[in-house]
């Protein structure tokens, strides 16, 4: 493990750093609610990407009287950082995080987690696309890097908790069971990408922005004089930067894919694809002459058949899914074998009523009240009870309404 300490202020962590002096004393009491579960003597490591959200998260931890340090994870290589690729891993991002810590009066550390990230997130991303599935690398990163592995590594410097700038909340019931809930700002809610956090992770995690709206977060950053107050939010995969992920797939999977037939629902060839990694279920463009049927009805990618190297296309109605199976099931808290709630298939998709029934092993069957469009193997499906995450898993098989 390589850990580079950058003592931004040259002082030890202070329960009342500069942020406590700058933030208005009239802030609502619930702003510090996230810190109520932190025992005296704890040390919180804030995962800082150099953006406004993680910067304000660090400020709120310090202002709440919690001993706080900033930690920036180096997740990508030196060449990519020099070119400005990698978003939160660029040299500018690291420098922004350092400046914020200096402003707040807390130490800043840089953790080299490149190998772990490449092995658990990037490789998985490439393998999933290569197998014709649609992965969500942000979920995998949260699961394997930002919480589990980060908690393990910061324990080496006596940190007891990790805090992040995610828009989600953690609450505790009278029975001591912790629940992961949607953030108060539903437009920015990120609970979907955190669904794999179990009780052990939730007990050592703080989410200071859970009760805040995004405009308020930027206002607080401005009040603190943080240079990142107006910094745009990152919209790209951190290991792709501003580029097209298909360019990365072509480079990294060279020799591992081949062109093949595009077929319609009857099995008739209607075109040629360039390789399964470059297509996703629901895709309409980039299909060449296969995009329209003889009657001019648009065609969409309905299935990626890795065993036969086929791209199957059909009309939009063929994308409708009434039921699916999920694997690698995760339950933040103990759950009964049958659950009814709202299922969400993408980070900002509209949740839909569904019934979740556990199956042998770590699988479950999910039956939707109404047919859903575009659910594909590899995607994560998360079930909510109102705003509380109760189950989640990765889609492994679907039953499509429009395919006999």
Q: What is the pLDDT of residues 26-70, one digit of tens each?
A: 455 556 778 888 898 999 999 999 999 999 999 999 988 889 999
Mean pLDDT rounded to a whole number for the chain: 86
Instruction: Find out whether 351 and 391 touch, Cβ atoms under 8 Å.
Output: no
pLDDT on residue 365: 97
Rounded to an integer, the average pLDDT of 157-184 is 95
Quote the pLDDT of residue 131: 87
pLDDT in tens, 248-288: 888 888 888 889 999 999 999 999 998 998 899 999 888 87
The C-alpha atoms of residue 266 and residue 302 are separated, in whole angstroms, by: 12
Q: Which residues are known catalytic residues? A: 141, 238
Identify which has the larger pLDDT, 398 or 3. 398
Q: Could you give the CA distance from residue 224 to residue 230 in angstroms, rounded to a whole number? A: 12
**Could you write out the DSSP letters of every residue in 191-235?**
GGGGTT--HHHHTTEE-TTTT--HHHHHHHHHHTT-TTTTPPPP-
pLDDT band at residue 6, thresholds of 50, 70 and 90? very low
Quick: pLDDT tens for 364-401: 999 999 999 989 999 999 999 999 999 999 999 998 76
Q: How far is residue 366's CA from residue 2's CA, in Å, rounded to a whole number?
A: 43
Tokens 């002082």 appear where?
11
Q: How many CA atoms lie within 13 A of 10 on its CB side?
A: 0
By the 8 A CB rule, do 319 and 374 touch? yes
The model scores a pTM over 0.85: yes
Burial 27-38 (b: 16+ CB within 10 A, else e): eeeebbbbbebb
Q: What is the pLDDT of residue 194?
A: 97
Confidence at residue 350, expressed as pLDDT on a 0 to 100 scale: 92
Q: Give me the percent of the chain exceeding a pLDDT of 90.
A: 63
Ranking 11-15, 202-206, 367-371 by mean pLDDT, the lowest is 11-15
The HSE-up count of residue 176 (CA atoms within 13 Å, CB side) is: 1
Q: Return the number of other C-beta atoms located less than 10 Å from residue 21's C-beta.
A: 11
**Does residue 77 surpass a pLDDT of 70?**
no
Q: What value does the mean pLDDT take over residues 297-317?
A: 92
The rounded distance, in Å, linking the Cα atoms of 339 and 357 is 6
Q: Which of 61, 50, 28, 20 is nearest to 226 (CA)?
A: 50
Contact predicate 75/86, CB 8 Å: yes
Q: With beta carbons less than 8 A apart as the criterion, state whether 104 and 90 touch.
A: no
Strand bridging mode 320-330 / 364-373: antiparallel
Domain positions in the chain are 2-223, 257-314, 318-400
C-alpha angle with apex 115: 113 to 116, nearest 5 degrees? 65
- Identify the pLDDT of residue 4: 44
Q: Is 105 exposed, middle or buried (0-12, 13-18, 19+ CB in 10 A)?
A: buried
The per-residue pLDDT for 323 is 96
Residue 252's pLDDT is: 84
How many other β-carbons are positioned within 10 Å of the β-carbon of residue 213? Answer: 16
Structure confidence at residue 19 as a pLDDT band (50, 70, 90): low
Decide: helix, strand or coil at residue 243: coil
CA atoms within 13 A on the CB side of 93: 31
pLDDT, residue 73, reads 93
Q: How many CB atoms lie within 10 A of CB 137?
A: 21
Beta carbons within 10 angstroms of residue 395's beta carbon: 22
Class of domain 257-314: mainly beta
Average pLDDT over residues 81-90: 50
The pLDDT of residue 14: 47
- Do residues 66 and 45 touch, judged by C-beta distance below 8 A? no
Distance CA 261, CA 379 (A): 24
Residue 401: per-residue pLDDT:
63
Strand ranges in 75-209 using DSSP code E only, listed in sequence order: 108-112, 161-163, 168-172, 178-182, 205-206
Mean pLDDT of 293-302: 79
Per-residue pLDDT, 239: 75
Backbone angles phi, psi at 265, to 5 degrees: -65, -20
**Which of the four CATH numbers 2.60.120.620, 2.40.30.30, 3.40.50.620, 3.40.50.300 does domain 2-223 have?**
3.40.50.620
Q: Nearest CA to 114 among 155, 139, 145?
A: 145
CATH class of segment(s) 318-400: mainly beta
Residue 12: pLDDT above 70?
Answer: no
Confidence of residue 75 (pLDDT cuts 50, 70, 90): confident
For residue 250, the surrounding DSSP H or E stretch is helix 245-252
pLDDT digits (tens, 9 = 90+) for 135-160: 999 999 999 999 999 999 999 989 99
* Band of pLDDT at residue 7, cut at 50, 70 and 90: very low
Give the Cα separation of 32 and 398 in Å (integer): 43
């Amino acid at each position: 493990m390589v850990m580079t300490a950058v003592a931004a202020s040259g002082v030890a962590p202070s329960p009342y750093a500069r942020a406590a002096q700058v933030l208005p004393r009239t802030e609502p009491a619930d702003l510090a609610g996230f810190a109520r579960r932190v025992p005296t003597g704890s040390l919180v490591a804030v995962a800082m990407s150099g953006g406004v959200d993680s910067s304000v998260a660090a400020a709120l931890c310090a202002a709440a009287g919690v001993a706080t340090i900033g930690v920036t994870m180096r997740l990508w290589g030196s060449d990519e950082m020099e070119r400005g690729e990698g978003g939160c891993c660029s040299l500018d991002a690291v420098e922004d995080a350092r400046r914020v810590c200096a402003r707040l009066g807390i130490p800043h550390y840089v953790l080299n987690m490149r190998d772990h990230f490449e092995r658990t997130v990037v490789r998985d991303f490439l393998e999933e696309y290569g197998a014709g599935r649609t992965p969500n690398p942000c979920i995998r990163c949260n699961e394997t890097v930002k919480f589990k592995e980060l908690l393990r590594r910061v324990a080496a410097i006596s940190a007891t908790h990790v805090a992040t700038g995610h828009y989600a909340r953690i609450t505790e019931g009278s029975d001591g069971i912790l629940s992961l809930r949607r953030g108060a700002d539903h437009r920015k809610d990120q609970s979907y990408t955190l669904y794999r956090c179990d009780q052990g992770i939730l007990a050592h995690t703080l989410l200071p922005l859970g009760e805040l709206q995004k405009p308020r977060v930027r206002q607080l950053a401005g009040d603190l004089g943080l240079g990142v107050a107006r910094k745009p939010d990152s919209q790209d995969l951190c290991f792709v930067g501003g580029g097209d992920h298909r360019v990365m797939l072509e480079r990294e999977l060279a020799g591992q894919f081949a062109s093949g037939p595009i077929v319609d629902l009857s099995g008739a060839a209607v075109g040629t694809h360039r390789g399964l990694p470059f297509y996703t279920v629901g895709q309409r463009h980039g299909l060449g002459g296969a995009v329209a049927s003889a009657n001019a009805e648009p065609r969409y990618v309905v299935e990626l058949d890795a065993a036969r190297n086929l791209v199957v296309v059909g009309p939009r109605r063929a994308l409708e899914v009434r039921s699916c199976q999920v694997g690698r099931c995760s339950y933040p808290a103990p759950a009964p074998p049958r659950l009814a709630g709202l299922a969400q298939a993408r980070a900002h998709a509209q949740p839909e009523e569904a019934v979740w029934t556990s199956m042998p092993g770590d699988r479950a069957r999910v039956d939707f009240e109404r047919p859903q469009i575009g659910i594909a193997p590899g995607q994560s499906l998360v079930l909510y009870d109102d705003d509380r995450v109760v189950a989640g898993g990765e889609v492994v098989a679907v039953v499509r309404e429009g395919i006999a």
